[in-house]
Each structure stands twice: as C-alpha cells, then as structure tokens.
Structure 1
Amino acid sequence: MVMTLTSNQWHVGIVGYGEVGKILAEDLCRDGIKVSAYDIKLDGDQARPLQEHAAGIGVTLALSSADLATRADLIVSAVTARETVSAAQACAGAMKKSAWFLDFNSASPAAKQRAAKLVNWGGGHYVEGAVMTSVPPYRIKVPLLLGGPAAAELAPLINELGFNAKVASDKLGVSSAVKMCRSIMIKGMEAMVIEAFTTARAYGVEDQVLASLKATFPGIDWEKQGAYFFQRVIEHGRRRAEEVREVAETVREAGLTPWSAQGTAERQAWIADLADQGLFGQKGSEEFARSADWRTEADRILKQIKSAE
C-alpha cells in the first residue's frame, strides 16, 4: 500500500546536502514540513558548514543514509551522478515499506533502472525525477519530470509540498533520457563557450567573435551568457563533469559513440581541476567568478596555460 499523507504530516529525508539539497530543505522547512538530511561530508572535516546550515533552518541531521531512511516518508536523493545507485542501495533496506524514493539525480536511464530495482526490492516506491533546468532560480518550483509506474501517484502529493512536477511516462528511463539528451546541448554549450571565448581572447578577436554570434543569434546576449557559463562551470564543473559522463553512457546505450559528450566532460573536469587549485579564487571572495565580465576568468586560464608550458 502506497503512503498518502497531508502536507503537514510528511517527514522528508534528503540524501545529499549540497546546493540542491539545501535549497529543497530551506523551502520545505519554510512551509513547516519536517526535514532530515544526510551527506557523506558530515563524516569528514567539511561537516561544520552543513551542521550550521541545518541548525539555522531546523533540519535534523541523520547519522547515515540508512538512519535517515528509517524515519522518512519521502526520500529525495540529490547526490552526484556517480552516487545515484549507491545512494539508493544505502537507503533501500532501511526504508519504511510504504515510503517513497524520489531520485533527483542526473543519471543515465540504466542507472535509474538499477536504483529502482534496489528501492522496490526493499519495499519502497521508486520514482525517477529529471530536473529540467538550473535549480537556484526556481528553487523547489524547478520544472521536474517524473517517471515510473508510481509517478502518477506521487506527482500530486509532492506538488502539494511545493514541487512543480509532472509525469513524463510510466516507464522508467524516459524522464532521464529527456534530461540526458538536453544535457548534451546545455553542458556542451557551456564547454564550447569557455573553449571558444578563451581561444578568441588568446588571439585578441573576442569582440569580432561576439559580434558575429550576435548577428547570427540576435536573441542571445552573448556577454551575459558567456559570464553565466563561466561562473556555473567554475563553481560546479566537478558535478557537471560527472553528469556528462552519465550523458555519455546514455549515448552509448543508444548505440552511438559519445564524441561530443566525452569532450564536454573532459573540458568541464579540466575547469574543475583549475578551480580546485585555487585559480579562480575562493568561493565567497570578490575574486570568485561573480564578475559580469568573463574575460577575467579567461585571462586566468590563459595565464595558467602559459605558466605550465
């Protein structure tokens, strides 16, 4: 029997207390919904910021994914792409038999299907979710495609909690395929803009390139879009690289060689490596990729390349 509760009765557990997990927790807590969370960083030296954030909004931190699963009516998995299946496995055996598992992660259809088997075998009700755009501007209202046999039942329940979900299919993998194919384009554009703009800057032809792009695509503000792409990849390149590796796997599952996706993953990971080395400054500082001018970051990249020669 599937659990049905009114919104003020839900206990939501969030696995993965990163950017997305924190945003969902903030919005749910603001509406008086009980929230627990767990993140692997709670077991290391990065625990304090998570603990302080949770205490500030009223989130209870669990000792483990299994500990969280024992108390939650709805588990939202918001981990990195490569942890999709392991997060489901960690929760599956401890879930309430009537609880829901909403997989928010950007993983291939096959990965979602593996996660579903684990959760459903444990007695939970798995629903895949595909987040269709960047979460921060929309927060909990980010467009969300649901998939799987239980998706139609879960959609109105989580929409009552504040989500913006609609059902894409009763078959597992369809929602994720939509997300993955979209990411070929979006994450690929990020990588291409960084590569093209930085190369143009190296040759001193960025103004001509931007003018040409504007003439061809007049509806896009390429200065603004370029700055946004640089910012997002510098801040989230590691997570994006992992997602695009899942995208590449999705392409392989379709029988194609993922040349574009593989290159995108390499570029995203390369920027993440530079960010980890402190090239772009520390998050929260004035240096950190918050300028409206992408040229500052391109110049740092070019300087790093020359110093490595």
Structure 2
Amino acid sequence: MSSAVSPVIAVLGLGEAGSRISADLAAAGATVRGFDPLVAPPAGVRAATSDADACAGAALVISVNSAHDALDALEQSLPALDGQAIWADFNTSAPGLKQELARVAADAVQVVDVAVMAPVPPTGLRTPLTVSGPAAPAAAGLLRQYGAQVQVIDGPVGQAATRKLLRSVYYKGLAAAVVEALEAARAAGLEEWLAGNIRDELENSNAATLDRLVTGSETHAVRRREEMAAAADLLDELGVPPRIATASRDWLADLAARRPARG
C-alpha cells in the first residue's frame, strides 16, 4: 500500500511495545506519526511534537503509553480528532478505565478496547490482539491490512480487558507460585529437585488437569489449608516471604468455610 494513500496512524507512547508496533506499521506501508516526550520514534515513523500533533487527521490512534497516562493522552488529543477516527487503547488496565475513556470521548472519537495477549517482542505487530467496542470491526480491519492478528470480541468497551485480566490471574499467579517455590527450594538446597518436579507436572498436564485442580481443592480444602499453613511456616523458617503460600492458605480457608456442614 502506498504511503501517499494510506490512512494516518498515530502511536502515542514509544516504549518497547509502541516502538516495535509503530516500526512494523511503517515497514508495512502505513503512514505513522509517533509521539513520546522521552523517546524518539523509530526509523520510518514521523516525529510529532505532542499527542494532538500526532493525532491530527489520523484515522487510527494507538495509545500504548501506560494506564496512568491513558486518560490524559486522550484529553490532550481530543481537539485534533473527529468522530470518524478510532482511538485504540492498548494499555493494560481494568475495564473501568477503558469505559471511562469511552465516556470522556463521547462522540469526539470512537474508542475501542485492545488487549495485547502476549509479549510484543519479538513478534511486534503480529502479537495476538483482541478488541472490543462498537468500532472494533473497523479497527480490526484497518490493523489487519498491515499484518496484525486481531480477534474481535462481541460486546462493549472493556470486554477485551476483562478477558485478558482474567487470564492474567492464572498465568501471572502460576508464575508467582513457581518463582516463590523455587526461591524456597533454593534456600533449602532442593532447587534442582523441585524444578524437575515442576517440569514433569507441566509436561504431563492434559485436559483433565483443570478439573482435577478444581475438584481436588473443593474436596480437600480443609486438609490443604493445613498443608499450606505448614508450607508458609516452612518458608518463614527459610527466610523466604510466603506471599503465595499464605494467599493459598487463606483462599483454601474461605473455600472450606463455604462447604456445607455435614449432618
């Protein structure tokens, strides 16, 4: 696609993700303007002097600065936008913030909620994305022209963020549990043994693993609560803060309390 006829895409925030996405868009033939007060744009991306300058005449704005700056970036850009433009919020934040962006934008710009479903490096623009909101199909169509992998989620702004964050509870929670367990195993001189045990468990997981985890926790909540209390005590003795162990203990205690009493 010739840059003379391609729509303007603005990228606000040129950190690791924004720089890679903007560079890939430019390499694919898009006309890209980028703005970041601290980072120069990559090759092929036209430098802008402000959020509003980057957004002037843009068909699509990719906001990938931070959740903390997301609302300010939108407010700074609104005077340069029109009702046909699409504001794609790529920031990782709670659905409520995404909905607040849509409320503030009103009819000035069409807000869509984009969830980045994997680390941007090394795949850049081809990192899987999910997008929700009334203008999601239009945003997806534009991004797909340049090679993006986009799944449209039915529903209002915030649905994409909801799905990503629910998945994050599992993935990041699992990672935290593994890191805490290995740190304690290192302190006990058993890191190699535990790492091999974890690898075996992951390799042998299958479709039945989820049911086993859920039903096992429900059935054995009382016993497992005591087990995790002992595990938390062990980590204390090893000098490792038992953040995940105590959270597991408390969660199992709540689960046990919800079980119906036996007559």
Above 0.5 in TM-score? Answer: yes
Shift of 1:8: 4.6
Alignment of 1:88-237 (within 5 A): 88-121=74-107, 123-218=108-203
The aligned counterpart of 1:30 is 27
TM-score, structure 1 normalization? 0.61
Q: Give the direction of change, closer, same or farther, for the CA distance of 1:202–1:83 in structure 2 (3 Å limit).
A: same
CA contact (8 A) 1:151 1:170 kept: no
Aligned partner of 2:9 in structure 1 is 12
Aligned pair 1:75/2:49, yes or no?
no
Provide the secondary structure at the position in 1 that maps to 2:203: coil
Query: What whole-Å deviation, never above 9, does each CA across 1:83-106 have from its counterpart, x for those lacking one?
Result: 222222222232133211111111
Kept in 2, the 8 Å contact 1:104–1:129? The answer is yes
Matched residue of 2:147: which SS?
Answer: coil
1:62–1:184: structure 2 CA closer, same or farther, 3 Å change rule?
same
Structure 2: unaligned runs, 5 residues or longer: 206-242, 248-263
- Contact 2:59–2:85 under 8 Å retained in 1: yes
Return the alpha-carbon distance in structure 2 between the equivalents of residues 167 and 131 of structure 1.
12
- Pair 1:76–1:126, CA change in 2 (3 A): same
Report the identity percentage: 30
Structure 1 runs not aligned, ≥5 long:
1-5, 42-49, 221-258, 264-309
CA gap of 1:7–1:202, structure 2 versus 1, over 3 A, is farther
TM-align CA RMSD: 2.4
**TM-score w.r.t. length of structure 2:** 0.71
Q: What is the match of residue 253 of structure 2?
A: none
- Secondary structure of 1:23's aligned partner: helix
Q: CA distance change for structure 1 residues 145 and 185 in 2, over 3 Å: closer, same or farther?
A: same
Task: Please give the alpha-carbon distance, in whole angstroms, between the structure 1 residues aligned to 2:91 and 2:4.
Answer: 23
Larger radius of gyration: 2
Aligned length: 207
The 1-side partners of 2:30 and 2:129 are apart by 20
In 2, distance between residues paired with 1:16 and 1:23?
Answer: 11
Moved over 4 A (4+): none
1:219, CA displacement in angstroms? 5.2
